[in-house]
């Protein structure tokens, strides 16, 4: 894994921490899938990441050993697309035309719904989430 890839993964995990992202973090005792729990402050590009497994056990891995499960942008449902579009702001350009732009709410939506808008899946830094992995209903 290149340094650039480690940085990209760490940046994503830091943003995803409040949203309960599920990660592949293999451990022979507890299983392979857990929820991102903590990112340790560390003066290194590969900091310790703590993952909590379904029965409450935690284990610490290096960032480079963890892969989040993310949804491809193409998996967005029509309902989600309507909700996502509502997060955009419309701005008037100098020439009098209007344009839409993403806001912080747009990024919050993408993070909360675990969409891969940073290209982590295609770089093999993330895994495509199985259908309904993040379903809360």
pTM of the model: 0.87
Fold designation for 3-71+116-128: SH3 type barrels. (2.30.30)
**What residues does each domain of the chain span?**
3-71+116-128, 77-112
**48-90 pLDDT per residue, tens:** 888 888 888 888 888 889 999 999 999 999 999 999 999 999 8
**5-57 pLDDT per residue, tens:** 999 999 999 999 999 999 998 776 777 888 999 888 877 778 888 888 888 88
Residues 6 or more apart whose Cβ sits within 8 Å of residue 129: 22, 69, 70, 71, 114
The SS3 assignment for 111 reads helix
What six digits make up the tokens of 50? Answer: 């703590």
């Amino acid at each position: 894994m290149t340094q650039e890839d480690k940085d990209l993964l760490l940046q994503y995990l830091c943003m995803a921490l409040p949203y309960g992202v599920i990660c592949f973090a293999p451990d022979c005792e507890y299983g392979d899938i857990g929820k991102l729990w903590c990112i340790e402050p560390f003066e290194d590009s590969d900091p310790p990441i703590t993952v909590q497994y379904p029965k409450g056990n935690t284990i610490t891995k290096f960032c480079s050993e963890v892969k989040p499960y993310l949804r491809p942008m193409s998996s967005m449902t029509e309902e989600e697309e309507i909700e996502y579009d509502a997060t955009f702001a419309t701005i008037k350009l100098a020439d009098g035309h209007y344009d839409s732009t993403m806001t912080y709410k747009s990024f919050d939506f993408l993070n909360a719904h675990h969409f891969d808008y940073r290209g982590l899946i295609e770089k093999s830094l993330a895994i495509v989430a199985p259908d309904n992995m993040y379903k809360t209903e």
